Structure 1
Amino acid sequence: MHSLLLTGVALVWAILPTVVMPVRLPDGASRMECRRRNFWIWINKDFLGYNQWQIQALDASQRIYTITEMIAAQCGFTVVRDLDDNLEIRISYFACPTKTLDDVQFNVSINFLVFFATGRISYDLAMACTLPVIWSPREIICEENYIEVSVRRIVPSVFSFQGLQLGAGSWPVVLAQDWYIDFQYRNGTVRTVTATAATQLGYGIRTTNTRLLLRSPHNTPQSQVMLVEGLALEVTLSTMSYKQPWVILIVETTTACSVEPPRFTPTSLVWLTPAVLTPLVFDIPYYQDQGPLMGVDGLLITPETMQRNGYQLAMDAAALSITVPIGAPGGKMKSDVQNNTYGATYSIDLLLERDWRGLSDDETRHSTCKRITTPFQPQPLLFIDYTVPSMKYFNVALGYFYPDVVVTGLAIHGQQLTPAQATDRGFTLATVTHPNGTSVFFLQVPFLDPLVEQTLLTDWIRRYTLYVTYTMTLVSTGKTFTYTDVVHADLKDIVPPIYAGACGKNTLIMDMTSGSMDRYWVPYIRDLPLTAELITSQKYTVTGTGTTFRLEVPAPGVGLVYEAVTLQSFRVRLDFSLKDNQTLQTMSSFSVSCNFPTGRMLVCLPNGTMIATVFGTDTVPNFDAQRTHLRDPSCLPLEANSTMALFYFSSSECSTTKVYDGTHVITDNEIIFRREEVPVGAPSISRDSEHKLTIRCRYATQQTKTIWAKKSVPLHRGLRVERKPAVRRVARHAPNLQLRLAKDGSYNKFYSAEDLALLRLAPQTLYLDVYLLPHGDQQEVVLEDCWATTVPEPDAVTRWDFISLRCPVGKASHRTTIQDRALKNVKQFAVKTDGLHGQVYIHCLVSICDGSQATHEACVQTCDPNDERTEPAALIKEQVTELLSMGPVEIQAAQDVVSSKYSGEKQWLTWPWVMAVGMAVVGVLSVASVFLAIRIFKC
């Protein structure tokens, strides 16, 4: 501590301009008191600030000496920070620069230099004190940085008075060379040094008219630690002597100070010293203790004060103890931080004064000044929520702190704010001090501040969340630490959006009146973000003001759900939703459905399904639309009459072709008029003209979204719109039956259900098997039907058949091979996925038969490609069937998503953008047809 306070500032002195002016300190900057044996000077911490300072004094020759740490111990200076962090300077009445009159009047003058940015200023500090209590024949003072012993000076008449005068030269004051000091050691050896040599060892020596003084720093090589009643004392055994012919004057200058470490309990501190300081007692049998006295901060206190503050002073035959409750008045709690943990220490400056007597003039007064500081103790912090939601602001408190802690920063939802910035923002940050001296920091934050997170809960309850981090600083040390917490407040104050739907001539219309949370939500059409690019490319119309919003979507068009399609009309639905801009959770939704007459149309659905119409009146002469089919002659219209036909098919069926151009996949098919020819099979004459209509869809390969719609439409031969699985009976062994996806063709390792949720496969072969846990030797698995869908439902509209009626299906988009292995309980098959895309779910209808009837056709994995029955012949009454499903499996190939240039990677984050784009395109965009077909007529 002393080294920090007394370190020289010569470098600073050399750099700064010199402005030395002997002036007085400003009022309030210092305080001075005369104590029992010391001058006490305090310099206010606010006056010093962070400026460097220095203490100087003059010797008898008017030479300036800087009070360094070594000189302070030799000359009787103690420089510390008091418990309030003010600079405290204690100067012994027998310090080197003091002047004394009969050892009753004492004067001291020092220069106190402060190094400001503009220069250094020297302040003159002078004190004059009168001795309040007469000197005891021997007095020992144990200070924090030195030990001082002074004894009454009794000079026999035979001694020359001049021999006892001060020697010439600078201080530390040196006696004449006839003075010697004998240091004794416990091993019996003695070392004798002159007074001059002693000063070179760090000792200070002085005589006055009535006293002889020896002062030494703590822990010199001549000192030693002794145990008395098991308690440690620092002891220096020494005598001073002055020799003249025939006579030797010897003065006992032994010192002893307690160095026993204090002891701590969770609630108190205890300072122990031996009951009798035996190294200082000459005649133990005649020892008379006059009773110990206790003091605090250098002043003795009364028994009433001790009782009021909870102090205890006790002594038995072995030890004297002082017990102080932690936190008691007279001491000070001081904040500290370790590993970002707030805590505190308790410090108190104790004084113990003891007087004892022996024979004759054997009287001793022993004083010890000792600062005791408890170890660091973490202090649990309380974060208290006083928020009343109806008040619409957070009201939280953080405590409890000691007064040396201040809030220097706040982080609200990650944004750093100074206290001034927080106040400017409308926050309230206040410190409330309790009677016990601890403080609490109160913080108030409005709910509607942008840094407060808002979340919509159920029943239109809004949750406000405050994420706050306090940054606090210890005033005394500059250490910083943080505390983080979160508080929620729920308030039913949400105003939901209000919707209305309408049907235009060829558009679906949705009107919305905004609610109170719209700025945190983003709009979606089905699962497509309503971006400016989508609005422009699909010719949506967006209009509105700050509180209203209108969306018009042309039909047919992208983003609509096709609920039903017939020759007479088609029904479409617009699904609009608002999603949280962080979690994408749907917060509000609305749907409107409209019926429109079926006209010339080509709709390319995102899941690869194509809807197209053809009119027989488009040619001259007209043709019968009922006699049309796709490129695959077995793919007939879903509905047809003489003038119009409606086709509904998957891009993976009916000989639909796909061409990749690097960024898009183009699928096309043809609607062909079947002419009547004579003769049939070898045409030579026909009254019908040849007619073909090419229908084509273009999909971006980078899209990954899958949109599907389940439709209830009649099953027409040649077009499998909705395939129903065969009748399923209760499976006796269903828990033991598994549909698995192998990692390779060895079928040794399989993906788990958890793997499938994250699995993304490039176009490759899928290795699948159906595995029946062994349950006897007579059970065998037969694959009846296996197929894939884009949705979990096995009876979805769009499907890709792998195995149909026990036969492997071979198509351009996927080719199936059934592995021929002699395993009864396992059936393995491989599917090449050249044309599959996006997320698919795989389903298998299997049967379990009795293997003991090996000749029965139910146990033979054979197929009849020409069998057109809805159920396999092998499914007889006694047979057990089971429907197994797995997925999804993400196949990353060309993705059939939307028939436009829309890219789903960009999200529209703010409503104002929607409004701006909408207003820009009002009056420009019009309802347009989504026909992409190119009609090709060949005569």
Structure 2
Amino acid sequence: MDVVFCFCVAALLSVWFTATCEPIPDGALHMECFDRYFLITVDLSVAGEKPRFDAVARTGVYAITEQNAAKCGYSVSVRPLLGHVELRASYFSCYTDNQDDKVFTFNFNLVTQHEGYKATYALNKTCSPSFLWSPREVTCEVNYMEVTVKTDMTCSTGTKKGDWNTLKPAHSSTTSDWQVMFKRGDEQLQPMDLSQARQQGYVFNLTDGRLVFRTPYGQPDSFSTEVNGVPVEVVHATLFSRQSWVVLMVDMVAACSTHEGSYDDSGYMIWETPEALYPSVESTKISIQLGGELVEQTVAEERGYIIEKHNATFRISIPCNAEEGYRKSLVDGGLYEFYVFHLYVEQVLVDEDNVETVLSFHRTLVTPLLPSPIFSDNRTALEEQMFTVYLGDVPADVDLASVQLNGQEFTLPFSNASGQTLTKVTYPNSTHSYTLKVPFDNPVVTQQLIPADAVIQLKLDINFTLTVQSGNESYHMASIVALFADESPPQFDAVCSESGIGFKLDYRPFDYLWEIRIGSDLLTSELAAKRGYIMSNDSQSLLLIVPLFTQGYEYTDVTLKGFSATFEILVRDRENSEVQTSTVKTCPFTSTELIICSTDGRMTVVADLSLAVTSGGIPATAHLVDKYCGPKEADDTRALFSFPLNNCGSRVKVGKENVTYQNEIFFNVDKLVPGEATERVIVQCTYSLAGLHRLFSTYRFVSDTDGVGSIIHTKAGTASYSPDKRDLQRPTVEPTVEPTVEPTVEPTTVLHTVPATMRPPGSPVAHQLGVHPPARYVKVSKIHLLSNGDETFPKTKINEVYV
């Protein structure tokens, strides 16, 4: 099969010319001369939609089509993964200028088309391989097989008897023209002249020193077989010419491994070729092209390749992460990936006559679809108070397009107002990752109370939409994250002070799930400032100082010795506003004077009557406008009154927005000291008309808001409100006159309800300045007095006024 009969041939001469074309953009073209082929790559951005190469020769311009490319020694392929179109040309291709098999000049036109616009680019390159051609060169390209042999070889001395059987058809030939015989397996086909062979797609050519035979795969005269289990295609052609009694014959057998590659689960793409495609081989070695450089087996193995020989078969295992491989993602019901390798292998065979044969293999290997290793990881830490989800091993050609959170779609990038963040990190292994952070208090997070388990469930259903680059494929990856937290609502620590009550809450991770309210009002910095609370709030804790007599207190056990003040903070469920728990703190306080205007229509007053005592008055004998309404408790200088607003002779003043109930404390002075002024004490409560449900009702008083109380100390010489019978019997406001809120007496001093002993440190002492600021009102729901029973004052009805 390897017998070669020597002959002499004449060289074919050729010249070339270059077409006039447009210049190609810089960086878009790459041309390189390799040992046994010439390579052109052009960026797809320039090559356009349907690029075409034309070979330029002295005889004309020839389009390189799919059919004639295989016949003429060209391989053209578009490689989207690499972003270019590629042409490989044999040094012995049809239209290449060959000078003595040492200098090869290539001339091509690249014809491109962009949206109907055509452009032509001239591509020219001269290559001079630095090596000497082996006696026999076999190229196994992706679309053709090519054999070249030297024309001046010494004839083999190892001819076997069986090889002479080929001479019989040649010897019987009656022509001296060159003919070719094909052998298909054991079948010897009839000879044909070269013109007939060319019509069937075969190419025969003579250079200065070599005979060239080229054939596409799948020709009728080729046959497929297996060598050691590896598929092989063989074309056994013998050229011969009968010169008188001498027959010249050349064996041009072409044999190539057609193994398409296989993938194993260890992450390797495997390609195989028989060690000896040609008989009588004594030794063989393999080299692989890596990164454009042909390297020996040991170097390839250092880079992760595995080259082994099993049963006279070379097995080359290529790691999928090899730099020479190219990866592509694909959506097919799920996210998959595949790898493409453009393998170039040279196998050197040496036979028993020490004749060298070089086999060159070009193979494109593609792995099957492999599931993509994208994964998600819940990295949520409770102390961070946010969901943290990691999406890792995302391939370089896959982008995250959008994120769906509990059914709500968010396109990327997130807006600043969305509340969630996304961070992308790129890794050297051509993957990247995303880290999604969603705070627990983000409105998209669902919360569910599970009473049976005494837990709160926070749930975030995430759907990642990933898009494959250079395509419209999308992939949806769902990650359902559920987190459980302690159900117990937060609890405040509370302490008493001289000036009020302090509350402190140390935040836990899930305390944001609850609302903190004072009554029906949400506790905010605005509410605190409006009501006079002192609040400090940060990520660690909440501190609230509630000064005495600010809104929200409830007062009980009011006596001359002191009283109790209670403040309550409510904790409500944020979802349904139900009260889950409360912190209630009650503290004892003392005060020289105070006035309380309750929402249920009762005025409670502790009045300082020391000036009246100096003038001879006795607090125990003091009374209100109704002389039967006396104090509940009295000592040497003070008296405690508690009475319904619509009783004890109270006077009502109605304005456009407020209603004021006013009464006065009187004394039975037996003997007035000459020159000493007695003191009148007026007490009043003012309510907003907008908050009153029933005005001047004998039966019930209901107010939404607190009343504002005042204790007004005046001199006895000012206009007074005399508690005689006429005043008690006539209406306090005439129906035909628009009610007003001007006071009947002009106050000279007003006593603040907060005693000096309970003022915050550093505040001015009112009595030292001689001026008392207005009394501040408080909101109470009920008042409990230390008495021997319910109110026993006689009911003195006042006239009702309707506004």
TM-score for the superposition, normalised by structure 1: 0.45
Hey, what does 1:492 align to over in structure 2? 511
Deviation at 1:403, TM superposition (A): 1.5
Supply the distance in 2 between the matched residues of 1:465 and 1:89 (Cα, whole angstroms).
56
* Alignment CA distance shift 1:384-1:360 (3 Å): closer
Deviations 1:103-135 (A, max 9, x none): 111111212223223612222222111112211
Q: Contact conserved, 2:463 with 2:479, CA < 8 A, in 1?
A: yes
Secondary structure of the corresponding residue to residue 58 of structure 2: coil
Equivalent residue number for residue 371 of structure 1:
364
Map 1:15-164 → 2, pairs under 5 A: 22-45=21-44, 51-63=49-61, 65-81=62-78, 84-117=82-115, 119-154=117-152
Distance of 1:81 and 1:588 partners within structure 2: 70
The residue number in structure 2 matching 1:573 is: none
- 1:257 is aligned to 2:256: yes
- Separation in 2, partners of 1:30, 1:101: 26
Among 401, 405, 408, the alignment partner of 1:412 is 405
Aligned counterparts of 2:241 and 2:579: Cα–Cα separation in 1: 104
Does residue 231 of structure 2 align to residue 232 of structure 1? yes
CA distance in 1, matches of 2:312, 2:42: 41
**Further displaced range: 95-104 or 53-62:** 53-62
Contact 1:460 1:495 in 2 (8 A): no
State the partner residue of 2:221: 222
Change (3 A) 1:132 1:431: farther
Q: Distance in 2 between matches of 1:274 and 1:43?
A: 35
In the TM superposition, what are the counterparts of 1:603-752 in structure 2 within 5 Å? none
C-alpha distance in 2, partners of 1:76/1:417?
A: 54
Name the count of aligned residue pairs: 475
Three-state SS of the structure 2 residue aligned to 1:487 is strand
List alignment gaps of at least 5 residues for structure 2. Answer: 1-18, 155-174, 486-509, 525-550, 552-570, 582-598, 601-803
Q: Match for 1:115: what amino acid?
A: Q
Check conservation: 2:340, 2:365, Cα contact below 8 A.
Answer: yes
2: CA distance between counterparts of 1:390 and 1:37? 65
- For 2:124 and 2:421, the matched residues in 1 are separated by 48
CA drift of 1:44 comes to 3.0
Contact 2:49–2:114 (8 Å) recurs in 1: yes
Structure 1 residues 357 and 498: CA distance shift in structure 2, 3 A: closer
Question: Which one-letter code corresponds to 2:313 in the other structure?
Answer: A
> Quick check: 2:283–2:351 contact (8 Å CA) kept in 1?
no
Instruction: Report if aligned partners of 1:460, 1:493 keep a CA contact under 8 Å in 2.
Output: no
- Deviation of residue 98 (structure 1)? 1.4
* Structure 1, gaps ≥5 residues long: 1-19, 157-175, 501-511, 517-547, 549-576, 596-939
Q: Does the 8 Å CA contact 2:20/2:122 hold for their aligned counterparts?
A: no
Partner of 1:355: 348
* Residues 272-295 of structure 1: CA deviation (Å, up to 9, x unaligned): 322221xx33xx2xx322423333
Check conservation: 1:423, 1:429, Cα contact below 8 A: no
Question: Could you say which residue in structure 1 is the equivalent of 2:305?
Answer: 311
**What amino acid does structure 2 have at the position aligned with 1:366?**
L
RMSD over aligned Cα atoms: 4.0
Distance 1:191 1:492, change over 3 A: farther
Equivalents in 1 of 2:190, 2:134: separation in Å?
29
Q: Give the corresponding residue for 1:382.
A: 375
CA contact (8 A) 2:513 2:574 kept: no
Preserved CA contact (<8 Å) 1:411 1:468 = yes
The percent of aligned pairs where both chains have the same amino acid is: 28
How far did 1:137 drift? 1.4
User: What is the CA distance between 1:252 and its match in structure 2?
Assistant: 1.6
The structural deviation recorded for 1:35 is 0.6
Task: Decide whether aligned partners of structure 1 residues 87 and 399 sit closer, same or farther in structure 2, where only a CA change above 3 A counts.
Answer: farther
Alpha carbons of structure 1 residues 338 and 514: separation in structure 2 relative to 1, 3 Å: same
Distance (whole Å) between structure 1 residues aligned to residue 247 and residue 471 of structure 2: 55
Amino acid of the structure 1 residue aligned with 2:28: A
Residue 240 of structure 1 and its aligned partner are, at CA, apart by 2.4
Go from structure 1 to structure 2 and tell me whether the alpha carbon gap of 1:261 and 1:21 turns closer, same or farther (over 3 Å shift). closer
CA distance in 2 between partners of 1:47 and 1:422 (Å): 37
Check if 1:327 corresponds to 2:321.
yes
* Deviation (angstroms), 1:316: 5.5
In 2: Cα distance, 1:110 partner to 1:332 partner: 28
Superposed CA deviations along residues 729-755 of structure 1, whole A, max 9, x for unmatched, are xxxxxxxxxxxxxxxxxxxxxxxxxxx
* Offset, 1:514: 4.4
CA separation of 1:324/1:155 partners in 2, compared to 1, >3 Å: closer, same or farther?
A: closer
Shift of 1:190: 0.5
CA contact (8 A) 1:298 1:350 kept: no
Mark the CA change 1:427 to 1:61 in structure 2 (over 3 Å): closer, same or farther.
farther
Distance in structure 1 (CA, Å) of the matches to 2:84 and 2:206: 33
Q: Cα distance 1:334–1:300, how it changes in 2: closer, same or farther (>3 A)?
A: same
Which residue of the partner structure matches residue 273 of structure 1?
Answer: 273
For residue 497 of structure 1, report the CA deviation from its aligned partner: 6.2
- Shift of residue 384 of structure 1? 1.8
SS of residue in 2 equivalent to 1:307: helix
CA distance in 2: counterparts of 1:440 and 1:492, whole angstroms:
32
Could you say what secondary structure the match of 2:196 adopts? helix
Tell me the distance in 1 between the aligned counterparts of 2:382 and 2:241: 87
**Alignment partners' CA distance in 1, 2:176 and 2:514:** 99
> Residues 534-553 of structure 1 correspond to what in structure 2 (within 5 A)?
none
Counterpart amino acid of residue 413 in structure 1: N
Distance (whole Å) between structure 2 residues aligned to residue 177 and residue 428 of structure 1: 84
Per the normalisation by structure 2, the TM-score is 0.53
Q: Is the 8 A contact 2:260 2:365 kept in 1?
A: no
Find the counterpart in structure 2 of residue 513 from structure 1: 521
CA separation in 2, counterparts of 1:202 and 1:300? 32
Q: Is the 8 A contact 1:275 1:316 kept in 2?
A: no
- Give the AA of the match of 1:496: E
Q: Residues 494 and 261 (structure 1 numbering): CA distance in 2 closer, same or farther, change over 3 Å? A: closer
**Partner SS state of residue 191, structure 2:** strand
Measure the CA separation in 2 of the matches of 1:430 and 1:448.
20
